[in-house]
Chains A and B, each alone.
Chain A
Amino acid sequence: MRRPPKDTEESVKLITRRSLVLGTGMTAFAGVLGLRMRHLQVDQADQFRLLAEENRINIRLLPPARGEIFDRNGLLIAGNEQNYRVVMVRDEVDDPDKVLEDLSNLIPLSPDDIARVKQELAKRSRLVPVTIADRLTWEDLSQVAVNAPALPGITPEFGLSRAYPRLDDYAHVIGYVGPVSDYDLSKIDDKDPLLQIPKFQIGKTGAEAKLERDLRGKAGTKRVEVNAYGRVMRELGRDESTKGSDVQLTVDTRLQNFVQARLAGESAAVVVIDVNNGDLLSIGSAPAFDPNLFVRGISVADYNGLTQNKYRPLANKAVQGAYPPGSTYKMVTALAALEMGVVGPEETVWCGGHTEVAGRRFHCWKRGGHGHMNLRESIKYSCDLYYYELAQRVGVEKMSEMARKLGLGERHDIPMSAVSKGLIPTKAWKRANRGEDWVIGDSLNAAIGQGFVLATPLQLAVMTARIATGRSVKPRLINAIAGEEFPSSAGEPLGISTSALNQARGGMIAVSNERRGTAYSTRIAEDAFRMAGKTGTSQVRNITKAERARGVFRNADLPWERRDHALFVGYAPFDKPKYAVSVVVEHGGGGSTAAAPIARDVILAAQYGGVPPLAAYPESQHGRISTALEELNLRDPADTPPKGTRA
């Protein structure tokens, strides 16, 4: 039951007062909430709108197609190939094991592949696509696409991958691309966001690396809306990527293929240059490798096979290999002497097989000596004693000056890896690098391209071109980038007198065209294509007195590593020069037997624009030559580029 009222006015007033205080407080707080709302939604709206957009919009890079590389005739050297692959997003699959099993019935998947995929699925985020199979055929991909409804989480993807249709022909010139590595990133200062794309392909060696900026192209962007978990909801817009610039080189695929085929089995290098404009028509280095292997990720076994091969397939011998030029250097000494006027054209030097200089005995390669030699004969027979005499008259400084004039000791500017400078010694160089004074013996060695002198096949080809034209021919490998032609020129006159040049050329003509010339056996029979040249045989060892006494310097008796390098330089046609060639066969033995035949075949191929006809060779050699030419493993450059085999 209710008790009687015990408090009246006072109680009501108190509650009313307190209620009003509290009500006012609550309303005031609601006001604060309203103000806060206004602050966030009106004052800071722009800022938060931006943050919301950043939340939801992701910028994805669209990798550009890489610029393609063509030869001088527009044949493809490095292109892009559609790469079909299949990826799985773990988040979209309930039972990945079953899906993988179903998939393995459609496309070739080894148990190893499946194990790798499972491992990656476990490791990566559930939203990251994991590549299940790469480099699928179009048929395989269609199989997957048709069965897509039964394969949740599986997406067929298209991408571009580098392909080298000429296989190993251009391995050293073009190099190869590969996925960008942490090492690459640390080495190059390049802020291009493309490099952050996992497995983005960049040039690793050769022209691919040197012309990376031109070839790469510009990234496009795709704006996608993503949810909080990073899943793409829809595409909002895109700016297409820009393909990299196409590059046209000066090389000739038909000739390059001939050169590589001709060098098969050797450890050798060949350079063919157009003497009139410096165009490099072929840069051969053997053995070579298939750059496609590197693009796909070379296997350890393959890689070890390349690095452990004593012929060093990965080395680019044509521009990187520096060899003692041997007798091919004699033109340098001769020209220096002629220009100084310390020797006359008909002046003879007696060669008795050896000579004493400063208490040391210096030998001619010919044990019995050559007898009286004039300049032309000294080149024709490659007499060493003649040059020992010239060396003493000319001195090292003048010889080296002439060598530089002819392009030796200079790093030529072509977009290839590890282009070597070679070495043209001077007194100052020896003092600085060896801490010893130059002695006369050094000059004698230098005069015949031994001792300290080192030159690359590229430099020797340039030297030959310069002797042939008297102009400062500069090697040129890029013909055009993005359709824009690179300047070419015949070069400035070298400032060497025509009579001196003609003396040297006369000797070279004699070498390849006169009986008993050191390369007479590799003469060209076709008058319009005749060659002038010079053999070279450079020692890689010292001949001991004991060996000399025993007569053990037949190369065939020595292990490969200790045999002489065989060299040859030449140009043709000798009366109206078009092409110069240099050949170095590592440990090949004699220049006339190992290098000159290659040079002849190559320069004939350059002049004929293909495999030379038998008529170009002396009749007595037809049988042997025809067999050799037929045995060459040539590819028809007009063929559709051969597809790389599936890795």
Chain B
Amino acid sequence: MSYLAHSVKSVPTGFSRVLHLNWPIILLLSAIASVGFLMLYSVAGGSMTPWAEPQMKRFALGLFVMFSVAMIPVWFLRNIAGLAYLISVGLLVAVEFVGATGMGAQRWIDLGFMRLQPSELMKITLIMFLAAYYDWLPVKKVSHPFWVILPLILIVIPVYLVLRQPDLGTALLLVFGGGGLMFIAGVSWLYFATVIGAGVGLVTAVFQSRGTDWQLLKDYQYRRIDTFLDPASDPLGAGYHITQSKIALGSGGWTGRGYMQGTQSRLNFLPEKHTDFIFTTLAEEFGFVGGLSLLGLYVLVLIFCIASALSNKDRFASLMTMGIALTFFLFFAVNMSMVMGLAPVVGVPLPLVSYGGSAMLVLLLAFGLVQSAHVHRPR
């Protein structure tokens, strides 16, 4: 059901839009970000520098971005979705040529005042563009093969570019985010069943062929897969991080070792303790209670987003909100799975908590989109 089917008059305008923001989500995001400030202060050994203070400034900037975006009418966002997608892809291509290398991968462009990671932006613009696509596509055609291949191409292009960097974490998020959006939009179960079936079949074939005459991959490639899937097989390399991470989590117990008392993080046993592995510090210092509380906050954000999406009768707004909720979910789910040893280490930050400018700004920008969809929903 589209926007114009409803009374435009009931959509708030001007300053009154602020009152119609989805305030619970803003409060939840602020709470999560505050947990981040607390933990960044702790991992710096009780210091605002080098992480907590910049993070606060970025959050403030991000809130401003979110409010600004929230004021933009959602139909305008839909109209520029294609452009945004093109710009993002363009930036990803640009990163190939002028990108700086950080952490062994080409990821950001130095804009002077900030480092832009186009791959972060891509996660959002892909969702926007797919939402716009399905908003435009009549429901009857959604499962038509031609109209399925088109969005697949839209997904594959940025995934390919991101993998070249190489940034496996972002690539996964793009695939699952885009795929998830296609699912919400109503693409037939059969496609998903086929893809999943084919994936399982391929993986099985790859592993079954190992050691036989028709072995599909080279031996060293198998060994890499082994290490990737089971870091414990490489205890001093990839396994070291995950082992130390689990020790930190486990030693937290029910209520944790106390704020700034976590030995694993304080004594540097934890890797990347201010970025991807920040959750381990939280879990070590605040225990099961602390970890579960943060997880609860994330789930609440999800629920409010889903509620907002479901109550929104505009298809684009609804799809975009769901897509962003899914992306947000993928962030924390992949990150937590990773630090808890459920998934391989792929380098996905904990949303709003991990130190990092681009991710935080882009996430808040995304929630600006959610807010815009919420504020300008048809009534």
Contacts and interface: CB of A to CB of B under 8 A. Distances in A.
A20 B302 CA distance: 12
Contacts of A23: 302-303, 306, 325
Interface stretch (A27-35, A290-298, A588-596): A27-35
A551 interface: no
B200 interface: no
B142 to A, nearest CB: 8
B183 interface: yes
Interface stretch (B58-66, B87-95, B100-108, B314-322): B314-322
Given A30-B295, A33-B295, A33-B337, A15 B183 contact: no
A49 B250 contact: yes
A14 B318 CA distance: 12
Interface in B330-373: 333, 336-337, 340, 342
B139 interface: yes
A26 B309 CA distance: 15
A465 B156 CA distance: 104
B287 A40 contact: no
Given A11-B139, A15-B315, A26-B329, A37 B263 contact: no
Interface in A8-57: 8, 10-12, 14-16, 18-20, 22-23, 26-27, 29-30, 33-34, 36-38, 40-42, 44-45, 47-49, 51-53, 55-56
Given A30-B333, A52-B263, A38 B288 contact: yes
B139 A7 contact: yes
A353 B268 CA distance: 94
A33 B336 contact: yes
Contact of B333 (A33, A53, A227): A33
B295 A5 contact: no
B183 A45 contact: no
A37 B5 contact: no
Contacts of B180: 22
Nearest to A49: B251
Interface stretch (B118-126, B167-175, B241-249): B241-249
B183 A22 contact: yes
A115 interface: no
A431 to B, nearest CB: 66
14 contacts: A2-B75, A7-B140, A15-B185, A19-B306, A22-B322, A22-B326, A23-B303, A27-B299, A30-B333, A48-B246, A51-B250, A55-B244, A55-B263, A229-B268
A7 B134 CA distance: 12
Contacts of A49: 250-251, 253
Contacts of B5: 5
A199 interface: no
Contact of A27 (B184, B246, B302, B310): B302
Main secondary structure of the interface of B (DSSP, over half): helix
B283 interface: yes
Given A26-B302, A228-B268, A2 B3 contact: yes
Interface of A: 2-8, 10-12, 14-16, 18-20, 22-23, 26-27, 29-30, 33-34, 36-38, 40-42, 44-45, 47-49, 51-53, 55-56, 225-229, 233
A26 B177 CA distance: 12
Contacts of B268: 227-229
Contacts of A19: 184, 306, 309-310, 318, 322
What are the 6 closest A-B residue pairs judged by CB atoms, nearest first?
A: A48-B250, A52-B251, A227-B267, A41-B288, A45-B253, A228-B268
B186 interface: yes
Nearest to B309: A19
Interface residues of B, number: 55
Nearest to B256: A41
B269 interface: yes
Contacts of B319: 15
A41 B322 contact: no
Interface of B: 1-5, 75, 138-140, 180, 183-186, 244, 246-254, 263-264, 267-269, 283, 287-288, 291-292, 295, 298-299, 302-303, 306, 309-310, 313, 315, 318-319, 322, 325-326, 329, 333, 336-337, 340, 342
Given A23-B302, A227-B268, A37 B315 contact: no
Contact of B310 (A6, A16, A48, A226): A16
Contacts of B298: 30
B369 to A, nearest CB: 17
A55 B333 contact: no
Contacts of B333: 26, 29-30, 33
Nearest to B262: A52
Contacts of A227: 267-269
A27 B249 CA distance: 22
B317 to A, nearest CB: 11
Given A7-B138, A22-B180, A225 B2 contact: no
A569 to B, nearest CB: 69
Contacts of A53: 251, 263
A224 to B, nearest CB: 11
B189 to A, nearest CB: 10
B261 to A, nearest CB: 11
Contact of A41 (B184, B249, B303): B249
B1 A11 contact: yes
A36 B279 CA distance: 14
Given A45-B253, A55-B267, 5 more contacts: A15-B315, A23-B303, A48-B249, A55-B247, A56-B264
Among B251, B291, B318, B333, max chain A CB count under 10 A is at: B251
Given A5-B2, A37-B283, A47 B302 contact: no
B267 A226 contact: yes
Given A14-B186, A30-B299, A37 B313 contact: no
